[in-house]
Structure 1
């Protein structure tokens, strides 16, 4: 007596295909599990750079300068932050000058529904 294994094989293939489709759809949203990216909106119309200081996705304390668009919005992609983060804006490029224009501390969650946390400078 022979048993047909075709229905089981077809069902297993369907489950595997559904799982692969679900994993492919998870893409970038999965990155939000260990920190967020920062976006900056300049309402002062004079910021040329921002310094972001805090912990990255690996738990290291880092400080980095980024160029921003005066009067515009800038997304700092590829840098992931978590915990308390400080953003300072500068009127000059390269985060230079004797004083900074504006500063804000904000708690960045490790997980949230999206990948971005916005800071607004004045």
Structure 2
């Protein structure tokens, strides 16, 4: 469901899966709360065009999950990138995500190297 939500590129829909005071680390950015999450995602998809994400469950314990992911996007100049990394998620007692820590690397690729079309 997380993969489908992110691929929808709907910041409001995605933000509802997080607690009101959710904490994120995304690369070198720190984001706190649903309003900041919505703004962060809206800004992200203004720069990361033709975005397509794949997530893979890695491990879990109690209220925590680790996932591996990769996604592809094109910048405004037509250059393609593959981003990949790991996320650690922590959930509250209602199943909303209260913490998300993402380590992400970007790799320039040629359009013909794309996996997700």
| TM-score normalised by the chain length of structure 1 | 0.27
Higher relative contact order at CA 8 Å, sep ≥6: structure 1 or structure 2?
1
The structure carrying a bigger strand percent of its residues is: 2
Q: Greater CA radius of gyration, 1 or 2?
A: 1
| TM-score normalised by the chain length of structure 2 | 0.27
